[in-house]
Copies of this chain bind each other. A is one copy, B any other.
Amino acid sequence: MKRREFLKAAGLGAGASTIAMPAIAQSAPTINWRLQSAYPPSLDTLYGACKVFSKAVAEATDNKFNIQVFAAGEIVPVQSIVDGVQNATVEMGQTGSYFYIGKDPAFAFGTGLPFGPNTRQQHAWFYHAGGNDLLNEFYATYKLYHLPFGGTGTQMGGWFRKELKSKADLVGLKMRLGGLSGTVLQRLGLVPTQIAPGDIYTSLERGTIDAAEFVGPYDDEKLGLAKIAPYYYFPGFWEGAVSLSLFTNLDKWNELPPSYKSLLTTAASYAATDMLAKYDANNAAALRRLVANGAQLRAFPQDILQESYRAATALYAEIGEKSPTFKKILDHQMAFRNQVYQWAQISDFSYDSLMLNAIRQQW
């Protein structure tokens, strides 16, 4: 800080007593914000990203920018986080954007659509194909500013009490599954139901539901479902890439000095990358433990994948007819997905194929 600037900031300059400086106009003001997470501390990867983010911001500013993290339900209810940020009850919220498709189907893209791009492709779309700018045009109508906030990688398709032989086995099957995924599978005859994570175990045990999806091995292990619904299906095609969202109230965002806007952007990316790395490092060991404890891995039958893909494509077209915003973002993302998968096929997918052969066959 130059001396002149300091004098102003400290209120010591000539005539300073008559100048009302808004605190926020300082380059490094002291700010206390609140960040409401949609997750409990027990989900240490999801909730943990908020702590990683908050710590990075506090450290870099010598605690001048203090973002206090609140666990699920502490200030704003889990299902109202977007509203809480919109009306500035909290300055920031972490959630899956897709929980809010009831407001507008375009909320789905912040998280990811069934059969969307994979995790790396989604991130490339957000940051180097204009995706996040498109999303922020939309989110601005809700007074929200959006930063991608980490991913889980491809999730599991969940726990089933009985094996699935073909798409016929989905008819009448009651499954914990929400959002667009629920609507897609409803078209194959499945009955999607909403159940809080804490009630999944007893609902499956009593047969109130036949199946339930949650996240992946590391988080799923905490629910202990292998004994009561042992068939553990993959891939979670409706969550091939799941991104979390960090929402900031748009007015609060705009009030920040440039240094803090930059730092929040940098720190959100850091926390996001850290979350994915943590999942990638921990899911493998958790999967081994689950299998040792009775989980039986199964691939979804091909006709379920194919029919679901067709149902999803038809559903997106229908939504797009009613919502130009949804259609605009959908067309942009799917064109990108189709192009980048051509490159992935000969690069990372080809390398992964090679490595899986080498490891499995013990070359």
Cα distance, A283 to B353, chains bound together (Å): 20
* Neighbouring B residues of A341 by C-beta, 8 Å: 352, 355-356, 359
By beta carbon, the residue of chain B nearest A121 is B280
**Is there an interface contact between A61 and B259, defined as CB atoms closer than 8 Å?**
yes
Cα distance, A276 to B128, chains bound together (Å): 10
A199 touches B (CB below 8 Å): no
- A46-60 near B? 1/0 per residue, CB < 8 Å: 000000000010011
- A273-313 near B? 1/0 per residue, CB < 8 Å: 11011101111110110000000010100000110011001
A326 touches B (CB below 8 Å): no
* Neighbouring B residues of A155 by C-beta, 8 Å: 347
By beta carbon, the residue of chain B nearest A11 is B3
Closest CB in chain B relative to A200 CB, distance in Å: 20
A74 touches B (CB below 8 Å): no
Closest CB in chain B relative to A194 CB, distance in Å: 25
A195 touches B (CB below 8 Å): no
- On whether A154 and B348 interact (CB within 8 A), knowing A266-B266, A343-B217, the answer reads yes
- A32-64 near B? 1/0 per residue, CB < 8 Å: 000000000000000000000000100111100
- On whether A347 and B234 interact (CB within 8 A), knowing A124-B281, A266-B270, the answer reads yes
Closest CB in chain B relative to A36 CB, distance in Å: 22
**Is there an interface contact between A350 and B120, defined as CB atoms closer than 8 Å?**
no
- On whether A355 and B118 interact (CB within 8 A), knowing A59-B259, A234-B347, A348-B154, the answer reads yes
* Neighbouring B residues of A240 by C-beta, 8 Å: 348, 351, 354-355
A residues 197-230 touching B (CB-CB < 8 Å): 216-217
A269 touches B (CB below 8 Å): yes
Say which residue of B124, B156, B350, B353 sits within 8 Å of A277 (CB atoms).
B124
25 A–B contact pairs at CB < 8 A?
A60-B266, A118-B352, A120-B153, A124-B277, A127-B277, A127-B281, A128-B278, A128-B280, A129-B281, A154-B350, A217-B343, A235-B347, A235-B348, A237-B354, A240-B351, A266-B267, A269-B270, A269-B274, A281-B336, A284-B342, A288-B339, A299-B346, A313-B363, A338-B359, A349-B356
Where the two chains meet, the residues of A that have a C-beta atom closer than 8 Å to any C-beta of B are 1, 3, 6, 10, 27-28, 56, 59-62, 115, 118-121, 123-129, 153-156, 216-217, 234-237, 240, 258-259, 262-263, 265-267, 269-270, 272-274, 276-278, 280-285, 287-288, 297, 299, 305-306, 309-310, 313, 336-356, 358-359, 363
Given contacts A123-B280, A284-B343, A313-B363, 4 further A-B contacts (CB under 8 A): A27-B62, A60-B259, A118-B352, A128-B280
